[in-house]
Structure 1
Amino acid sequence: MKNQLIKQSWIYAMAILTLVACTEENPVPPTPVKENKEGKFLVAVSVPGSTTATYFLPANSLANEKDSISPKGTGLEFTNTFTQFMSYGHVGLVGIKYGRGDAHIGQRFTINPSGAAMTVGNQFEIQNGFVTAGVVGDYAYTIMSGYRAADKTVGTMNRIGLSAGEPQFQTFKVNQFNGFEGKNAALIGLADGKDDAFYTSLHFHENTDIDNVVVAKINAKTLKTEAVYSDSRLSISGGFYRSARYSQIGVASNGDVYVFSGNNFGTKKAGALVIRKGATTFDKGYFWDLEAASAGYRFSKVWPLLDDIFLIEFYNKKYEAGKQPGMDASSQYAVVNMKEKKFNWVKGIPTYNNMPSGLSWPYVFEGKAYVGLTELDKFPQFYAIDPQTGTAKKGLVVKDANEIQAAAFIEKK
């Protein structure tokens, strides 16, 4: 597979990961932008009747429900679709596409000084494909675990530069994690540890006897494993949908690492544990039974919002332990304060019966989590969720579109 590398430096530093549909992954949400920044939002949408194009539209604000934008006659039409977006800070978007039997490709987008959406560099190819991705520091990373390769002991990581340079890739062994030597691991998610390393869940899918949650801390530059954590109170951390792998790990602002398990595999409750900053084991005094807190529901996706507050997407039906929801709908949402163990169902959004496709991946801006959703028989619309209360308010409407896929604030240069 020939690598179509980007031939020009990226003028604007950037990155986002937002995983969608059958290949969505859970990216680390961008750092909130400070108030009074001058710039525009870049919004990625799909339109009815088109399966081959994505539209990128500038917007002055996402917060006002009386405002609207439309792909008709405005914005950038890009002839390809993406299964995932990544956003970093306030400089742009990276779209990547799971290729199934075809090439896995990517493209960068931003807003130029005149306020119009534009591409950055050329379309590039992700070597050996990917099943999970995330932003760590100034780079976006994708991982293809060894279980899909001819040699199941080897995985591939692609490193996508956000300020300049070309995507690079390297292989690494997935059967040498301390305590699990000789067992092939699939890696799920990349949670930025803020120290050139990331946390990822290990899924030993060939070894059904392993019913514990296992997390590795890996140096993003060298791919050397710095630590391995295991605990018997939870089963595997990660969400699953077809070939998609959703991260369920998030790092709080104080460095504590919260590890969730939606109980998609295994026999344990759906809940959360924590690895305290600098600790070598899980905190034995912390466990939150989120299945009980939600009155019996399990979950598929987890997004860090602010500090130790997370947004969780729950399945619409209740399932017994060990039974996988598969492709069933998950469009119930709750905001959880992990330190105080406060649970609030999100209020102010349509009921899951009127919101068949769920939310877009959150974009945190000035203390609010902006998500796009499409209510039945209506145009897609942004909602601003208050992380402290879980209350959502209506925002920008995108007319003539059928789905909001991503958004990022782009600071004017």
Structure 2
Amino acid sequence: MKKSYLKWFFVVGMGVALGACSDDDTTDPTPGPGAGTQSRYVVASAPIGSQGVADYLLTTGDLSQGTISTVGQGIEQDGSYRYYLTHKGKFFSLLYGQGNPGAVTTYALDEKGGLVKTSDFQSETVQVFAPAGDDILTIKVPRSGNESASWFRINADQSKIVGEGQVNIVKLAGNGERAHFTWATQVGDKIFAPYMSIKGAAPDVFGTANPDSSWIAVFSYPAMTLDKVIKDNRTSFIGSYFNNGLSVDENGDVYAFSPASATNSGVATSTKPSAFVRIKRGTTEFDQSYFFNVQEKSGGYKIANQTYLGSGMFLLYMYGDLGKASGNKKLAIADAYNQTFTWVIGVPDVIASSSASYNNNTVSDDKKSVFVGINTEAGSWVYTVDIATATAKQGLKVEGGAITAIVKVK
């Protein structure tokens, strides 16, 4: 398990001398541009060249210009690995404990636009987290040993666990392997939880003998009772480890992508293309009339991550090696409705790492652009990507660390 920016690539050649940074419960008293507004951007930044050092949380009202720094500013997060989301006007920081207990820290905005800690409690270390109703649904998914995944409902207003239960993931897979949830998404009054089928045993824990199928477990909510499992054989599993592969559009239709990255004993075994599939609103079956072969449209490249932008548009992070689930990422804009694909221009040729794609990259209020944190050997910037033209422009510079997440708190 690695911090979100390390899940891409290590940033090299960026030794930065850091000054003392605050670990208080509020951000620097001098906020950046946009103070007094009703919403702020939280930028998580990890110190460069330091292993096992937590992120610093910075706030700003403008991602298109200027400079912010971790030096002497920001709220230091305890623990090495943190993941972030916002729900019901609050900012949640989740500690990944690597086998140790996790934690959920909640923040709100003060009158100056800074973050103020409102609660902090110990929890299980989880691999899945997503807004659902008034809650944040989290799931602890064992990769081996224990045959049950544990789920927890954390009420966003109360910042406490209000429900929990278990799912037998070996029984769920039903093929001699185990279901390893990649994410969970609320779809109407259901939770759609895509999963990988994995062996769950050394020396090939994440390997599988079932590389060419997609599965989504459908649960009722909030009871989390299993309704059914839906399956498709046109591509491989949806999403990947710690990687949300499923989005719901404004019409209530579900679009889900597969990276086609299954392996067996370390050898790539997916024979189906990296593609989007669809589940139409009000149904719990894959739409057999829809198949968006992104690998074909891109000239042979596979999808690594996605961020839904609205109106059927997606920001895609594509693996850089042709035909493989590896290589420096490239950015693209895809239209899932019209099945078109366009490479983004104006970004660095070599992206060392980027802000996490799971519900973090921020779409502008007018829905015309998306903000993406990009780290290179030369430094870290937030880029504004124009959705219509697939053109990026360099904006806010972040000094003292690599951008790991961008979240808008309203």
Q: TM-score under structure 1 normalisation? A: 0.79
- Whether 1:260 and 2:257 are equivalent positions in the alignment is yes
Which of 158, 168, 172 is the equivalent residue of 1:173? 168
**Could you say if the C-alpha distance between residues 110 and 373 of structure 1 is closer, same or farther in structure 2, counting changes exceeding 3 Å?**
farther
Q: Would you say 1:270 and 2:274 are equivalent positions?
A: yes
The aligned residue for residue 220 of structure 1 is 221
Q: Equivalent residue for 2:101?
A: 103
Tell me the residue number matched to 2:79: 80
Paired AA for residue 112 in structure 2: S
- Structure 2 gaps of 5+ residues are 10-35, 200-207, 263-269
Deviant stretches of 4+, over 6 Å? none
Correspondence 1:69 to 2:73:
no
Match of 1:130 among 123, 126, 129: 126
Structure 1 residues 217 and 74, CA gap change in structure 2 (3 angstroms): same
1:309 equivalent in alignment to 2:313: yes
Q: Contact 2:214/2:235 (CA < 8 Å) preserved in 1? A: yes
Q: Residues of 2 paired with 1:350 and 1:396: CA distance?
A: 15
* SS at structure 2 position matched to 1:93: strand
Q: Distance in 1 between matches of 2:340 and 2:330?
A: 17
User: Aligned in 2, Cα 1:102/1:145: closer, same or farther, shift over 3 Å?
Assistant: closer
The amino acid of 1:373's aligned partner reads I
Aligned residues: 360
Aligned Cα root-mean-square deviation (Å): 2.7
Shift of 1:197: 2.2
Checking the alignment, whether the CA contact within 8 Å between 1:136 and 1:196 is kept in structure 2 is no
Q: 1:205 aligns with which of 180, 198, 207?
A: 198
1:155 maps to which residue?
149
1:184 aligns with 2:166: no
Distance 1:106 1:385, change over 3 A: same
In the TM superposition, residue 256 of structure 1 has moved relative to its aligned partner by 0.8
CA distance in 2, matches of 1:386, 1:148: 43
What corresponds to 1:334 in structure 2? Answer: 332
Q: What is residue 407 of structure 1 aligned with on the other side?
A: 406
Query: Which residue pairs with 1:32 in the alignment?
Result: none
CA contact (8 A) 1:20 1:84 kept: no
Q: Aligned AA for 1:134?
A: A
* TM-superposed deviation, 1:88: 3.1
Q: CA deviation at 1:297?
A: 0.9
Structure 2 counterpart SS, 1:374: strand
Shift of the alpha carbon at 1:388? Answer: 2.9
**Distance in 2 between the 1:44 and 1:345 partners?**
26
- For residues 199-224 of structure 1, the C-alpha deviation after alignment (integer angstroms, 9 at most, x for no partner) is 12132223624632111222231111
* Stretch moving more, 183-192 or 336-345: 183-192
SS in structure 1 of the partner of residue 295 of structure 2: helix
Bigger shift: 257-266 or 224-233?
224-233
Query: AA paired with 1:204?
Result: S
CA distance in 1: counterparts of 2:42 and 2:109, whole angstroms: 7
| 1:20/1:83 contact within 8 Å kept | no
Which secondary structure does the structure 2 equivalent of 1:170 belong to?
strand
Partner in structure 2 of residue 298 of structure 1: 302
The aligned runs of 1:261-410 (5 Å cut-off) are: 261-265=258-262, 266-319=270-323, 325=325, 328-351=326-349, 353=350, 355-361=351-357, 362-366=361-365, 367=367, 368-378=369-379, 380-399=380-399, 401-410=400-409
CA change 1:318–1:74 in 2 (3 A) is same
**In 2, distance between residues paired with 1:60 and 1:147?**
40
Whole-angstrom CA distance in 2 between matches of 1:409 and 1:269:
34
Work out whether residues 44 and 56 of structure 1, in 8 Å CA contact, stay in contact via their aligned partners in 2.
yes
SS across alignment from 2:407: strand
TM-score in terms of structure 2 length: 0.79
Asked if structure 2 preserves the Cα contact closer than 8 Å seen for 1:274 and 1:283, the reply is yes
Change (3 A) 1:20 1:74: closer
What amino acid is aligned across from residue 132 of structure 2 in structure 1? V
Deviates more, 1:213-222 or 1:140-149: 140-149
Letter in structure 2 aligned against 1:262: P
After superposition, the C-alpha distances for 1:180-233 in whole angstroms (9 at most, x for unaligned) are: 48763221111231x232212132223624632111222231111234221111
Which residue pairs with 1:10 in the alignment? none
Structure 1 position 274, deviation (Å): 0.7
Distance 2:197 2:180 in 1: 6
The whole-number CA distance in structure 1 between the counterparts of 2:176 and 2:315 is 36
1:39–1:286 distance in 2 versus 1, CA, 3 Å: closer
Quick one: structure 1 residues 54 and 348, their matched pair in 2 at CA, closer, same or farther if it must change by over 3 Å?
Answer: same
Deviation track 1:145-167 (CA, whole Å, cap 9, x = no partner) reads 354343x1x11112222111413
Distance 1:371 1:396 in 2: 10
Q: 1:121 to 1:308 in 2, by over 3 A?
A: same
User: Per-residue displacement from partner, 1:20-76 (whole Å, max 9, x unpaired)?
Assistant: 54499xxxxxxxxxxx9634322221223544333222212112x2x1122223333
SS of 1:185 mapped into structure 2: strand
Question: What SS does the aligned partner of 2:242 have?
Answer: strand
Alignment CA distance shift 1:47-1:86 (3 Å): same
Q: Is the 8 A contact 1:299 1:312 kept in 2?
A: yes
Displacement, 1:296? Answer: 0.6
CA contact (8 A) 1:369 1:385 kept: yes
